[in-house]
Amino acid sequence: METQTAKLLDGKALAAKIHQELTSEISQLQPKIGRPPGLAVLMVGDNPASAAYVRNKEKACAKVGIASFNRHFPEETTQAELETVIQELNQDERVDGILVQLPLPKHLDSVALLHQIIPEKDADGLHPVNLGKLVRGETGLRSCTPAGVMCLLDEYSIPVAGKKAVVVGRSILVGKPLALMLLEANATVTIAHSRTKDLKAITKEADILIAAVGRPQLINAEMVNRGAVVVDVGINRVTDANGKSRLVGDVDFHSTQGVASYITPVPGGVGPMTVAMLLQNTVSSYSGTVNREQ
């Protein structure tokens, strides 16, 4: 049997295209609204990975013309202090999107903070109101990573309707909303997770296989149906015998590349799409202010 090499689903290239579209949209809307769109990212403590993510978001905002209202708080900041800041940002007419950078220090309740953000400014698309709209198939801000996955599938004209989709992972951040989005696109969806028996038997049936569990290289070539589309949402830092660290996904890319028809790289696949969808949500909230003012 001849070996194939999967085509790459290039999230970096698509994110750059979306950035260009958003830049154009903002330049058209700004004269009507009289200000640029605004995004506020709240970060608590000094987690180096979080700091890097926040810097990436700031750079992406600057690139498309979104004003950043980022706030960095010391580790010992209280729940009440953060809730007050969120309420102020809810009232701030310059701010269209608010998100709390996770993870937070252990003494803080991230869910309670998320509930403080008004649904119209929920840039992460994780507020119960927005998740409820997703369940009902209504218009609302969508969770960024799953929306980015759907955008990638659409960009590469990968048919979803009628296909068997398997999502490995059931988090509220990715697994559950992504399963709902695939269902909305008329896929037949199975959700697998840590308690699933015989995971391989389930993943082998997938036309579209999405790994979102945070376990390095959990999915290998033997678990993938020949010709399947494989989307790797995982970002895991692993250290080799020489002490060098690198990023890998939840999929063993090199072995799976010979079986799949399409595959996302890590990094450069889903990660850039998550940030692009965050900007998209912010601009959607911003353009909504035009509609409210007219």
Domains of the chain: 35-118 (3.40.50.10860), 143-270 (3.40.50.720)
Mean per-residue pLDDT for 125-133?
Answer: 96
Amino acid found at 29 = L
Measure the CA angle with vertex 125, ends 187 and 264; round to 5°. 50
Here the tokens at position 163 are 């296909």
pLDDT at 290: 52
Question: What size, in residues, is the chain?
Answer: 294
- pLDDT confidence of 291, banded at 50, 70, 90? low
**How far apart (Å, rounded) are the C-alpha atoms in residues 16 and 273?**
9
What pLDDT does 294 receive?
39
Q: Using pLDDT thresholds of 50, 70 and 90, give the confidence band for residue 132.
A: very high
Whether the CB-CB separation of 220 and 255 falls below 8 Å is answered with: yes
Beta carbons within 10 angstroms of residue 216's beta carbon: 17
- Give catalytic residue positions: 57, 101, 124
CA–CA gap between residue 14 and residue 271 (Å, rounded): 11
Residue 174 confidence (pLDDT) above 50? yes
The encoded tokens of residue 53 equal 């993510």
pLDDT(106) > 50? yes
Q: What is the mean pLDDT of the chain?
A: 95
- What whole-number distance in Å separates Cα of residue 208 and Cα of residue 190? 10
Q: Which of 160-164, 207-211, 239-243 has the lowest mean pLDDT?
A: 239-243
The pLDDT of residue 4 is 73
Q: What is the pLDDT of residues 217-227, one digit of tens each?
A: 999 999 999 99
Q: How confident is the model at residue 240 (pLDDT cuts 50, 70, 90)?
A: confident
The pLDDT value given to residue 293: 45
Q: For the residues 169-191, what does the mean pLDDT come to?
A: 97
Distance CA 234, CA 215 (A): 7
Q: For 233-272, b where at least 16 C-beta lie within 10 A, e where not — what string?
A: bbbbeeeeeeeeeeebbbbbbeebbebbbbbbbbebbbbb
> Percent of the chain scored above 70 by pLDDT?
97
Residue identified by tokens 């700031």 is 58
> What are the counts of helices (DSSP H) followed by strands (DSSP E) for the chain?
10, 12
3 pLDDT band, cuts 50/70/90, is low
Q: What is the pLDDT of residue 49?
A: 86
Estimate the crossing angle of helix 144-155 against helix 270-293, to 10 degrees.
Answer: 100
Q: Calculate mean pLDDT across residues 108-119.
A: 97
Side chain identity, residue 94: R
Query: Cα separation of 34 and 36, whole Å?
Result: 7
The separation between the first and the last C-alpha atoms of the chain, rounded to the nearest angstrom, is 62
Confidence (pLDDT) at 243? 87
Neighbours of 220 (CB within 10 A): 15
| Binding region for NADP(+) | 169-171, 235
**Which ranges in 36-103 belong to alpha helices (H)?**
48-64, 79-91
Q: Average pLDDT of 22-45?
A: 97
pTM: 0.94
The confidence score (pLDDT) of residue 1 equals 44
The rounded distance, in Å, linking the Cα atoms of 48 and 35 is 32
Answer yes or no: is pLDDT of 32 > 60: yes
Residue 278: name the closest of 146, 178, 157 by CA.
146
Residues 57-79 pLDDT 10s: 999 999 999 999 999 999 999 99
Q: Rounded CA gap, 86 and 144, in Å?
A: 20
